[in-house]
Amino acid sequence: MDALIAMEYIAETKEIEIGQLIMRYGHIRVHRPEIASSLMNSVERCGQIIPVITVKESDLSFVLIDGYLRVAALKRCGKDTVAAEIWQCNEQNALIRVLMKNQERRWEPLEEALLIKELLGQHNISQAKIAQLMGRNQSWISRRIALVHALPDEILGLVQKGRISTWAATRVLAPMARAIPDHAKALAENLIKEPISTRDLMELYHHYQRSNRKRRERIVKNPHLFLKALHAAEQENQATILKQGPEGKWLKDLRLARHIFSRLTQNVPILFYEGQERLERRALLTAFEDTRKAFLALEQEIRSYDSHENCRDKRDYPDTAYEGGYNQRDQPYPQHLQEHCETGPEGKGEQPVSNLLPLRGDQTHHPGVVQTLPG
């Protein structure tokens, strides 16, 4: 489809002098040094593969519409000519067609925004007309224009020169500039001095959003120090987790569950009331019942391991009393050391924790049994 659209405008493809090119729209494309170097190496090895796109202005001059990186690569390789498609149309139609045409690399959002701004300002085309010609809706055009307007000119220039990534500009600096322009400028200056990875920059921005005014100022004025402290805290936290092991995580999860249950308990008078719709109440109780079953399953699992451990201790160390470890009077009666580890009379033998503490959910009667609320 794109190839058919472009063919309507191609009059010829030929070699023209680089000096004949009018670099009118060079400011639209974002310079990316890594791509420029890769393209130069490709030109040196294989020559120019894809022609640039031009519009004829006179017999000896051609406006370069697309292919600014290729021309720069050819210049760096010492070439004097460039293979060019010469489209028979005006500049505005050529610009729109280039936006619709897939080139060797996709247009970045900021490049699209700059080109649309050019069409609006220099060629006096309305947003509705641009949207119609591009097959887009007007909201898409408006979002692209807002992207350019959100960035201060200084930051926009840095992005065009490749000093700041388009991602950083669109995802972090643009929303920051809309809220507090000075913070966006300060952060941009630090990014020029020492770039920050995409992951670290996004993490920094998340912390910035949750911080108070004073903390925000410290973040944008010295982002690298903030990230250094943040990484140190993360490493310390990881060391603590490693030191505490699964036991520490277990205790932390239980504390969290306890807080959640406390909050749920406080909300009971709000959620359950007289005259409540039966369907609504049943939905709440069903969720509670599922949670209760999960808790009882955990409780039973703990009880089974506690019982097994108690049995194992009594099988492995039956003569502890005769080794001087404990007073013989404190040991259970021999007749009670049976296969199922039955305990002795009260006060004579050590009982499992699960027997000392009533576990809710078993079939025997214990005080405090959790009852299912009526639905």
pLDDT tens, 183-242? 999 999 999 999 999 999 999 999 999 999 999 999 999 999 999 999 999 888 888 888
> Which of 126-130, 134-138, 173-177, 271-275 has the lowest average pLDDT?
134-138
User: Which whole-number Å values give the CA distances from 331 to 198, 313, 349, 355, in the listed order?
Assistant: 65, 13, 6, 17
- The reported pLDDT for the residue numbered 224 is 95
Q: How many residues are recorded in the chain?
A: 375
Is pLDDT above 70 for 98?
Answer: yes
Total domains present in the chain? 2
Is pLDDT above 80 for 4?
Answer: no
Identify whether 237 is part of a domain. no
- The reported pLDDT for the residue numbered 246 is 92
pLDDT digits (tens, 9 = 90+) for 145-160: 888 888 888 888 888 8
pLDDT digits (tens, 9 = 90+) for 352-362: 434 434 444 44
Q: Who wins on pLDDT, 104 or 178? A: 178
- The reported pLDDT for the residue numbered 134 is 78
Is pLDDT above 70 for 366?
Answer: no
| Final residue before a domain boundary, out of 106, 129, 164 | 106
- The reported pLDDT for the residue numbered 279 is 95
- According to DSSP, residue 126 is labeled -
- According to DSSP, residue 135 is labeled T
- The reported pLDDT for the residue numbered 298 is 93
Identify whether 349 is part of a domain. yes
Strands across the sheet with 10-17, in order? 10-17, 81-87, 52-58, 61-66, 21-22
Is pLDDT above 70 for 335?
Answer: no
Burial of residue 148 (number of CB atoms within 10 Å: 0-12, 13-18, 19+):
middle
Identify whether 192 is part of a domain. no
Instruction: Please list the residues that pair with 64 across neighbouring strands.
Output: 54
3-state secondary structure of 119: helix
Mean pLDDT, residues 287-303 taken together: 94
268: Cβ–Cβ under 8 A, 6 or more apart, which residues?
none
Q: What is the β-pairing status of strands 81-87 and 21-22? A: unpaired
- The reported pLDDT for the residue numbered 294 is 94
- The reported pLDDT for the residue numbered 93 is 85
- What is the domain extent for residue 368? 301-375
Is pLDDT above 70 for 338?
Answer: no
Percent of the chain with pLDDT over 90: 41
Mean pLDDT, residues 265-289 taken together: 94
**CATH number of residue 81's parent domain:** 3.90.1530.10
Identify whether 172 is part of a domain. no
pLDDT digits (tens, 9 = 90+) for 8-54: 566 789 999 999 999 999 888 888 777 888 888 998 898 898 899 99
Q: What is the β-pairing status of strands 21-22 and 61-66? A: parallel
Q: Tokens standing for 196?
A: 């920050």
| Final residue before a domain boundary, out of 106, 131, 147 | 106
| Amino acid in the structure at residue 37 | S
Mean pLDDT, residues 269-294 taken together: 94
3-state secondary structure of 28: coil
The answer to whether the CB of 173 falls within 8 A of the CB of 184 is yes
| Final residue before a domain boundary, out of 61, 91, 106 | 106
Highest mean pLDDT among 8-12, 95-99, 211-215, 324-328: 211-215
- The reported pLDDT for the residue numbered 350 is 43
Give which of 66, 41, 29 is closest to 51, Cα–Cα: 66
Mean pLDDT, residues 327-347 taken together: 44
Instruction: Please list the residues that pair with 15 across neighbouring strands.
Output: 83
Identify whether 271 is part of a domain. no
Identify whether 23 is part of a domain. yes
3-state secondary structure of 351: coil
Mean pLDDT, residues 83-99 taken together: 88
Identify whether 124 is part of a domain. no
3-state secondary structure of 368: coil
The pTM is what? Answer: 0.56
> Which of 28-37, 96-105, 138-147 has the lowest average pLDDT?
96-105
| E strands in 148-268 | none
* Whole-number average pLDDT of the chain: 80
Question: What is the Cα–Cα distance from 293 to 103, expressed in whole angstroms?
Answer: 59
> Which of 106-120, 138-152, 335-349 has the lowest average pLDDT?
335-349
The answer to whether the CB of 71 falls within 8 A of the CB of 41 is no
The sign of the dihedral angle between the CA atoms of 311, 316, 322, 325 is: negative
Identify whether 367 is part of a domain. yes
